[in-house]
């Protein structure tokens, strides 16, 4: 069953890419590799809901979908933030939403919050935020401390 869905997905992606190569695609902002990432991510999320014995697939589906949305936004929306710090924020949001809120895993909530904070504090635009803008200098200097704390959380298992 699983290999059939994977085969259908691979064949659909191949057909889409072949159509683009031959110039048969629709040529709109939604016909791109970023859209493929979004569709695959949403598909993984739906598959995880169907197969309840695979709850961690929700996290992976959220990460793939978030990265696809981010890549699509960079390609098609002017002014979309273009900084590496959004990647850990996207991964943290996926951990927080799917692992923490949906599956009630406290460890995933902590990991998600730490990664979202890491992304926010490493982002250069944090200086323009009204509440924490005046703390931007120290935040930019000490955000790697969040990596240390996150690493310690991940190494200590209960």
36 versus 20: the higher-pLDDT residue is: 36
pLDDT at 156 over 60: yes
77 versus 8: the higher-pLDDT residue is: 77
28-44: average pLDDT? 79
What pLDDT score was predicted for residue 68?
Answer: 92
Instruction: Identify which of 115, 37, 116 has the alpha carbon closest to the alpha carbon of residue 71.
Output: 37
pTM, to two decimals = 0.72
pLDDT at 44 over 60: yes
pLDDT at 1 over 60: no
Domain ranges of the chain: 34-155
Instruction: Give the span between the Cα atoms of 45 and 95, in whole angstroms.
Output: 13
Written as six digits, the tokens of 85 are 């710090």
Distance of alpha carbon 64 from the chain centroid: 5
Which tens digit of pLDDT belongs to each residue from 61-109?
Answer: 999 999 999 998 988 888 888 888 889 999 999 988 887 777 788 888 8
Written as six digits, the tokens of 33 are 């590799």
Instruction: Give the span between the Cα atoms of 113 and 109, in whole angstroms.
Output: 6
């Amino acid at each position: 069953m699983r290999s059939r869905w994977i085969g259908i997905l691979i064949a659909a992606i191949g057909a889409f890419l072949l159509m683009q190569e031959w110039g048969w695609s629709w040529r709109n902002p939604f016909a791109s590799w970023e859209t493929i990432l979004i569709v695959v991510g949403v598909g993984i999320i739906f598959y995880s809901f169907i197969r309840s014995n695979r709850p961690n697939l929700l996290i992976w589906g959220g990460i793939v979908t978030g990265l696809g949305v981010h890549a699509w936004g960079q390609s098609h929306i002017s002014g979309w933030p273009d900084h590496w710090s959004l990647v850990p924020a996207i991964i943290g949001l996926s951990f927080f939403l799917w692992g923490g809120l949906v599956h009630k895993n406290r460890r995933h909530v902590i990991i998600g919050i730490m990664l979202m904070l890491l992304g926010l504090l490493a982002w250069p635009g944090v200086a323009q935020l009204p509440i924490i803008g005046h703390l931007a200098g120290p935040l930019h200097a000490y955000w790697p401390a969040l990596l240390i704390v996150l690493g310690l959380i991940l190494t200590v298992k209960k």
